[in-house]
């Protein structure tokens, strides 16, 4: 895939979900995103008000996570968090599917929850990405997850939280790209550390990449820094 620097930046969700991240880290993440024009910053819910202040007037979107890391929260709790994040200034919500229920075959529960939560977020004008944690799903379950996300009206299906046993896999993105029935987009996340990682996933069909190495990947693309050293986390 041939991309310009600006197009690559616009495909990156610059993420800080480190457990030890403080206010200074989130402020720096926002400043970096505004400079490079990343698609959004992806942060924990309690950091959204800070990001809303830091990014005011920049046009950079704020994304947050709902139900991380397990997805095993009540639908009501997830819906309340979506409401609170809309009020705080979040434009995008990355909602963890109850993938344990999917693995157990309780498709009706997962379907009902995704429809409810997608509608709730859309009522606030939020973009919805559903995290399905592909490392714990077999091929049939990954396709079922895709169908459920499509039927719920989510804008994206997303591979990983970054806290599972593995992150984004090129073959999983390619599998979804071949199987999708409509306009749903694909987000890869987890373990994306280098430009080579990013290129492979974009070539396979991803249109968004969640990474804590966004600035390093962009610098590598622009030839202004060496390849990023592996870093912990998302």
Active site residues: 94, 158, 187
Q: Which residues of 15-43 are buried (b: 16+ CB within 10 A; e: fewer)?
A: bbbeeebeeeebbebbebbbebebbbbbb
Residues 53 and 50: their CA atoms lie apart, in Å, by 5
Strand 127-131 and strand 156-158: the pairing is: parallel
The SS3 assignment for 210 reads: strand
The closest of 148, 141, 192 to 170, measured between CA atoms, is 192
CB-CB contact of 153 with 127 (8 Å): no
């Amino acid at each position: 895939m041939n991309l310009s620097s600006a197009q690559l930046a616009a495909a990156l969700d610059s993420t800080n979900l480190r457990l030890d991240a403080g206010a200074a880290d989130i402020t720096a993440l926002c400043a970096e995103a505004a400079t490079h024009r990343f698609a959004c910053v992806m942060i924990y819910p309690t950091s959204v008000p800070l990001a809303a202040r830091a990014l005011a007037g920049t046009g950079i979107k704020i994304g947050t996570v709902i139900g991380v890391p397990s997805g095993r929260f009540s639908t009501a709790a997830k819906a309340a968090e979506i409401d609170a994040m809309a009020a705080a200034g979040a434009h995008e919500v990355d909602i963890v599917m109850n993938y344990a229920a999917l693995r157990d075959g309780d498709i009706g529960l997962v379907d009902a929850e995704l429809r409810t939560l997608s509608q709730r977020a859309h009522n606030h004008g939020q973009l919805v990405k559903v995290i399905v944690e592909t490392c714990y799903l077999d091929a049939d379950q990954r396709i079922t997850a895709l169908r459920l996300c499509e039927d719920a009206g989510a804008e994206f299906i997303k591979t990983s939280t970054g806290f599972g046993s593995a992150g984004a896999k090129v073959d999983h993105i390619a599998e979804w790209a071949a199987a999708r029935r409509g306009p749903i987009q694909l987000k890869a996340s987890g373990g994306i550390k280098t430009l080579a990682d990013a290129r492979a996933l974009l070539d396979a069909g991803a249109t968004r990449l969640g990474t804590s190495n966004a600035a390093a990947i962009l610098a590598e693309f622009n030839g202004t820094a060496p390849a990023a050293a592996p870093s912990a986390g998302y």
